[in-house]
C-alpha cells in the first residue's frame, strides 16, 4: 500500500521543489505503455543488485510508462483481493496485507520521481504528464473504495482489544486517518467531485513543475563581455565559460539560475547593471507571458485545492495539509510566525540601514535595491568581522568536505564507514555511490551523491530514498543526496562556499535519518515523519561542520594543504549572527504566503 503513498508523495514533493522545457516534441515511442512486456521490464521483479539498488544501466526511458501501468494493475488486483476477503477483517489480513501490496508500483514510483527530480528529459516529462492523473485516479480507487474502508474501519474500531505493539498501533492509526483524510466518508456524489479535483490537481502540479524547470533553464543570464564578470573568481569565470560551451554559445559566458530568488554570484559581481539583470532574471523567470509562465497555473491550483479542502470539511487548504503535522492548525502556525514578525522586521531594518551606509562608504549614492543586498551585506560582514567569504573557499574543496568532514563526523559519532562502489551503475556520470557500513562491518545501506547543478535538475538540495527500510519487506535503505553546487570547469577543483558546506552536512543529516531507520513497516520508516519535525536530524547534523575536531580534518587549503587558520574560524563563528533578520524575514514571508495559498 505504501506504493501509492510513495507515488503521490514523490509527485507532490517534486512539484513543490521547483522545476522543463515547454513545447519540445516527445521522442518517438516515448511513453507507449506497450513498449515492452512485463516480464522483461526491469521493474517487474526486485533488482538483483545489492540492497535492490535500481539497475540504472538496464532502465530505459521507455520502461517507466509500462511499469507504471502494470504496477497499478497488479496493485489494484491485490487491493480488490483484500477488500473482497470473506474472512473477518483483522490487522494481518487487512492492514499488513495493504502494507505488502503494490511492490512493482513502489519500485517504479520511487525510481521515476527521484530521476525526474534530478535528471529529467523530454521523454520523462511526457511520462510524468500522462501518469500524474492516472496515479491520482489510482489513489482514489483505493482510498475511496467503500468495501476496503469498511475493513480498515472495522479493524480500527477494535484497536483497543487487539494487543498490538506500539508500531503496529501507529500503523493502524495512520491507515485509518489517511482513508478519512482522502475522503472515504464522503457521499458517492462528493467522491465523484473529489476524483475530478484530484485529477486536476495532479495535472496542474506536474505542469507547474515542468514549466518552472524550463523557465529556470531559459532564464540563465548570458554575458557577452568578460569585463561584466568583474568580481568573480577565476574558477567562477571558468565555470560560466563552460556553461556557455555546454549551450553552444561560443565566446560567451552563462550564469545559470538557482532556485532561490537571490543568486549566489550577486555577492561578487561588481557591475551593478549585471547584478540587476541577474536578479530580475531570477525574480521574473516564470512571469514573462511565454509558454513557461506559471501564474495562471498557480491560480487554478490554489482554487482547486481550496475547493478540495472545503469538500473534505476543512476551512482552508492549509488546515487540510496540517491535520497530521506537529503544528496541527493554521492558527498555531500564525501564532508562531506572528511572535517572530516584529523583531525580525526590526532586525532586517537595522541591517538595511547598515548596508545603505556601506553603499555610501563605497562612494555610491544609489538607494539599496534587492540586487545590491548580497554584495553590500558581504561588505558589512567584512567590515564588522574582517571576514570575506571568498577567503573560505580554498579551504572547502568538495571531496575533502565529503570524505574528511561529512563521513569523518559520521564515523566518529556513530561508528559507520563508507566504501565507494564503482561497480554499481549510476543514473548520471557525476553521481557517486557509496556502501555504508555499520560499526560491526555489516551493510547499513547505500548512498548516492549528486552534487552539481544541471539544467535538467530541479533547484535546491534534498534527500530521498530509492529503497525504503522495512523489516517486514526485508529491505535496507538506498538513499540519495542531491544539491546544485556550481560544477567547476574541467580540471578545476570544486570549491564550496560555507553555505554549500553546511548544506552537505544538512542533507547528510536527512540521509542518516534514513540510514538508521529500524522500523517494521515501510509506511513508518526513516523520514516518514511530520514535515515540521523532519528537519531536526538534518539541522542537528549541520552543526558538526564547525566542531573543532571535524573542521580541522576537512578545512584544508586545496593547494598548500595548510589547515584553515583559527583566526578565520573565529571570524566565521562571530559573523553567523549577521544578516539573520533578512534571512529569517525571507522564511517568514514565504511561510505567510504558503499559508494564504
Place of cell 474502508: 149
Residue 243: partners with Cβ closer than 8 Å, 6 or more residues away: 220, 253, 254, 255, 256
Residue 590: partners with Cβ closer than 8 Å, 6 or more residues away: none
Q: Is 470 helix (H, G, I), strand (E, B) or coil?
A: strand
Cell of 227: 569585463
Four-point Cα dihedral 507, 398, 409, 17, nearest 10:
0
How far is Cα 335 from Cα 342, in angstroms, rounded to an integer?
Answer: 12
How far is Cα 522 from Cα 82, in angstroms, rounded to an integer?
Answer: 19
Contact 375, 269 (CB under 8 A): yes
How far is Cα 346 from Cα 340, in angstroms, rounded to an integer?
Answer: 10
Looking at 74, 507, 522, 542, which residue is catalytic?
507
Cell of 191: 467522491
DSSP category for residue 89: P
Cα end-to-end span (Å), the chain: 30
Contact 131, 3 (CB under 8 A): no
Active site residue 74: no
Q: Is 466 helix (H, G, I), strand (E, B) or coil?
A: strand
Beta carbons within 10 angstroms of residue 112's beta carbon: 27
Taking alpha carbons only, the member of 512, 443, 402 closest to residue 49 is 443
Report in angstroms the alpha-carbon separations of 424 from 82, 399, 435, 439, 512.
37, 20, 10, 23, 21
Taking alpha carbons only, the member of 209, 42, 242 closest to residue 116 is 209
Residue 397: partners with Cβ closer than 8 Å, 6 or more residues away: 493, 494, 495, 496, 556, 558
Report in angstroms the alpha-carbon separations of 595 from 297, 314, 375.
18, 14, 31
Distance from chain centroid for Cα 553: 29
Residue 307: partners with Cβ closer than 8 Å, 6 or more residues away: 197
How far is Cα 322 from Cα 532, in angstroms, rounded to an integer?
Answer: 10
How far is Cα 286 from Cα 228, in angstroms, rounded to an integer?
Answer: 25
Number of H helices, E strands in the chain: 22, 7
Beta carbons within 10 angstroms of residue 178's beta carbon: 17
How far is Cα 242 from Cα 235, in angstroms, rounded to an integer?
Answer: 10
Read out DSSP for 311-333?
Answer: HTT-SSHHHHHGGGSSS-SHHHH
Q: Read off φ and ψ for residue 320, nearest 5 degrees.
A: -60, -45
Residues taking part in catalysis? 507
Amino acid at each position: 500500500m505504501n506504493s501509492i503513498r510513495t507515488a503521490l508523495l514523490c509527485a507532490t514533493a517534486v512539484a513543490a521543489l521547483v522545476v522543463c522545457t515547454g513545447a519540445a516534441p516527445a521522442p518517438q515511442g516515448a511513453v507507449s505503455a506497450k513498449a515492452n512486456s512485463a516480464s522483461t521490464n526491469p521493474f517487474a521483479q526486485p533488482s538483483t543488485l545489492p540492497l535492490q539498488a535500481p539497475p540504472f544501466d538496464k532502465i530505459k526511458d521507455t520502461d517507466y510508462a509500462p511499469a507504471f501501468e502494470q504496477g497499478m494493475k497488479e496493485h489494484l488486483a491485490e487491493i480488490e483481493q483484500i477488500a473482497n476477503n470473506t474472512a473477518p477483517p483483522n490487522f494481518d489480513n487487512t492492514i499488513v496485507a495493504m502494507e505488502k501490496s503494490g511492490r512493482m508500483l513502489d519500485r517504479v514510483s520511487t525510481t521515476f520521481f527521484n530521476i525526474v527530480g534530478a535528471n529529467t528529459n523530454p521523454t520523462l516529462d511526457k511520462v510524468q504528464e500522462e501518469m500524474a492523473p492516472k496515479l491520482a485516479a489510482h489513489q482514489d480507487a483505493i482510498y475511496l473504495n467503500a468495501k476496503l474502508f469498511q475493513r480498515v474501519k472495522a479493524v480500527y474500531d477494535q484497536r483497543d482489544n487487539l494487543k498490538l505493539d506500539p508500531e503496529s498501533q501507529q500503523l493502524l492509526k495512520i491507515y485509518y486517518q489517511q482513508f478519512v483524510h482522502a475522503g472515504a466518508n464522503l457521499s458517492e456524489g462528493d467522491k465523484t467531485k473529489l476524483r475530478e479535483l484530484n485529477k486536476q490537481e495532479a495535472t496542474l502540479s506536474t505542469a507547474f513543475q515542468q514549466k518552472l524547470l524550463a523557465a529556470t533553464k531559459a532564464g540563465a543570464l548570458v554575458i557577452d563581455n568578460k569585463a561584466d564578470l568583474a568580481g568573480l573568481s577565476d574558477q567562477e569565470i571558468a565555470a560560466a565559460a563552460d556553461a556557455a560551451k555546454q549551450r553552444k554559445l561560443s565566446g560567451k559566458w552563462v550564469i545559470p539560475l538557482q532556485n532561490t530568488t537571490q543568486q549566489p554570484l550577486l555577492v561578487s559581481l561588481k557591475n551593478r547593471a549585471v547584478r540587476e539583470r541577474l536578479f530580475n532574471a531570477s525574480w521574473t523567470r516564470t512571469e514573462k507571458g511565454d509558454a513557461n509562465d506559471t501564474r495562471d497555473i498557480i491560480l487554478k491550483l490554489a482554487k482547486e485545492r481550496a475547493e478540495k479542502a472545503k469538500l473534505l470539511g476543512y476551512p482552508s487548504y492549509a488546515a487540510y495539509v496540517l491535520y497530521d503535522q506537529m503544528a496541527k492548525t493554521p492558527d498555531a502556525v500564525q501564532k508562531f510566525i506572528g511572535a517572530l514578525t516584529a523583531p525580525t522586521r526590526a532586525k532586517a531594518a537595522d541591517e538595511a540601514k547598515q548596508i545603505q551606509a556601506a553603499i555610501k562608504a563605497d562612494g555610491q549614492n544609489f538607494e539599496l535595491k534587492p540586487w545590491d543586498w548580497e554584495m553590500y551585506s558581504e561588505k558589512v560582514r567584512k567590515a564588522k568581522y574582517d571576514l570575506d567569504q571568498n577567503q573560505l573557499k580554498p579551504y572547502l574543496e568538495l571531496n575533502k568536505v565529503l570524505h574528511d568532514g561529512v563521513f569523518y563526523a559520521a564515523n566518529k559519532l556513530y561508528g559507520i564507514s563508507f566504501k565507494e562502489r564503482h561497480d554499481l551503475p549510476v543514473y548520471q556520470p557525476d553521481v557517486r555511490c557509496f556502501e555504508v557500513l555499520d560499526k560491526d562491518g555489516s551493510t547499513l545501506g547505500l548512498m548516492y551523491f549528486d552534487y552539481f547543478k544541471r539544467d535538467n535538475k530541479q533547484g535546491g538540495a534534498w534527500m530521498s530514498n530509492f529503497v525504503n527500510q522495512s523489516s517486514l519487506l526485508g529491505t535496507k535503505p538506498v538513499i540519495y543526496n542531491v544539491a546544485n553546487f556550481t560544477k567547476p570547469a574541467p580540471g578545476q577543483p570544486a570549491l564550496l562556499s560555507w553555505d554549500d558546506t553546511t548544506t552537505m552536512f544538512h542533507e547528510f543529516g536527512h540521509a542518516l535519518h534514513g540510514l538508521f531507520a529500524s522500523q517494521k513497516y515501510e509506511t513508518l520508516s526513516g523520514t516518514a515523519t511530520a514535515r515540521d519535525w523532519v528537519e531536526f536530524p538534518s539541522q542537528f547534523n549541520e552543526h558538526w561542520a564547525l566542531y573543532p575536531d571535524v573542521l580541522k580534518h576537512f578545512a584544508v587549503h586545496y593547494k598548500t594543504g595548510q589547515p584553515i587558520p583559527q583566526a578565520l574560524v573565529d571570524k566565521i563563528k562571530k559573523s553567523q549572527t549577521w544578516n539573520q533578520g533578512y534571512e529569517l524575514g525571507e522564511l517568514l514571508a514565504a511561510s505567510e504566503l504558503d499559508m494564504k495559498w
